[in-house]
Amino acid sequence: MSNPHAAAVREVFLTGHRTGRAVAPSHFLAVRESPRPALQPGQVRVRNDFLQLTAVMADLMSEKPGLPMPAYPVGEPLWGGAVGTVVESAGRLAPGTVVQHMNGWREESSGDASLFYPVPVEVLPAPEYVLNQGVTAYHGMAEVAAAGEGDVVFVSGAAGGVGSLAGQIAKARGARKVIGSAGSPEKVKYLVEELGFDAGINYREGLVRERLAELAPGGINVFFDTVGGSQFEAAVQAAAQHARFALCGALAGQIDGGTGGFPRLDIMTAIVKQLRILPFATLHTSEQLAAWGAHYGRWLAEGKLVFPHTIIDGGLDAAPAALDALLEGRYRGNVVVRLH
């Protein structure tokens, strides 16, 4: 718990590079206290209320993650999305302002006020609703795949942070049918009953290719892939002519290792169907942020979308083990740790 009079701030830091996927991320994380910095002109101090956890954080713990974002330095606290409240200000944000920022994994963050973005609390049911992966989901589904009216869409990893929003975005844009894959019957039920997917596939049970043939006999027009591996290969076989594949991630390789990130491409089928295979990286440009921002609050208010999320209690100390549990598939949707 953050104490306004304390001389120290609690934070989670990286104790060493993660060398392989066999060892859980929490093995390389520890909580410590660091001196609380004095506030400089222009700076604010923020009590962090919620921290966002995402699968990519585990990749960023390795020395060379090969991603379009900086790896976590050893000996430093991790960075990541957080929501907090300004508690002290020598800058342009008044105490009490609810803000979003990227200096998570600590109970309190200080810095120039320009690093902290006011949360539009008036259009959201709760501040933690901003800790979602909608920017990526929207970019991939709306702009890369251009999913819309009449499309038959398949989302892999559909109960995860990105996938759970990607499927709902396709529905909100008028897709005819949205199919999602997930790793348990409970998650498949969640997709259909709570997120409005038309059908779900438990990829651990039977062949995804056969289930897709049953559920989409005319083929899929859009594939939003967060998994790679055999699900990508199945989607090529299930694709309709000119289908668009938005490649977002390769969870099967990122989490389990192996060849998940190196699916085999049936080139002749891809040529005959003239597939458009479109890998993308969402860099959170101001345009990408604005595009999602223009839809999220409105779709929530109109009931076209829910914020799929799991809240973890237990404060900062619970965060390392929660990252392990995220990779093990124990949560649904976007994962948020309540810090206070």
Ligand X SMILES: NC(=O)c1ccc[n+]([C@@H]2O[C@H](COP(=O)([O-])OP(=O)(O)OC[C@H]3O[C@@H](n4cnc5c(N)ncnc54)[C@H](OP(=O)(O)O)[C@@H]3O)[C@@H](O)[C@H]2O)c1
Residues that bind ligand X (CB under 6 A): 54-56, 133, 136, 157, 159-163, 182-184, 187, 226-227, 248-252, 254-256, 280-282, 326, 329
Residue ranges of alpha helices (H) inside the chain are 56-59, 134-138, 161-172, 185-193, 208-215, 229-238, 251-256, 267-273, 286-301, 319-327
Least Cβ distance, residue 219 to ligand X (angstroms) = 22
Least Cβ distance, residue 275 to ligand X (angstroms) = 19
How far is Cα 36 from Cα 46, in angstroms, rounded to an integer?
12
Question: Whose Cβ is closer to ligand X: residue 91's or residue 200's?
Answer: 200
Question: Whose Cβ is closer to ligand X: residue 95's or residue 185's?
Answer: 185
How far is Cα 198 from Cα 19, in angstroms, rounded to an integer?
40
Question: Whose Cβ is closer to ligand X: residue 165's or residue 216's?
Answer: 165
Least Cβ distance, residue 2 to ligand X (angstroms) = 26
Question: Whose Cβ is closer to ligand X: residue 44's or residue 179's?
Answer: 179
With vertex at residue 185, the alpha carbon angle to CA 130 and CA 23, rounded to the nearest 5 degrees, is 65
Three-class SS state of 215: helix
With vertex at residue 318, the alpha carbon angle to CA 312 and CA 321, rounded to the nearest 5 degrees, is 100
Least Cβ distance, residue 284 to ligand X (angstroms) = 9
For residue 32, what are the CA distances in angstroms to 55, 297, 298?
Answer: 23, 37, 41
Measured N-to-C along each axis, helices 208-215 and 229-238 cross at an angle, to the nearest 10 degrees, of 30
Question: Whose Cβ is closer to ligand X: residue 67's or residue 301's?
Answer: 67
Least Cβ distance, residue 96 to ligand X (angstroms) = 31
Least Cβ distance, residue 57 to ligand X (angstroms) = 8
How far is Cα 107 from Cα 121, in angstroms, rounded to an integer?
21
Question: Whose Cβ is closer to ligand X: residue 1's or residue 207's?
Answer: 207
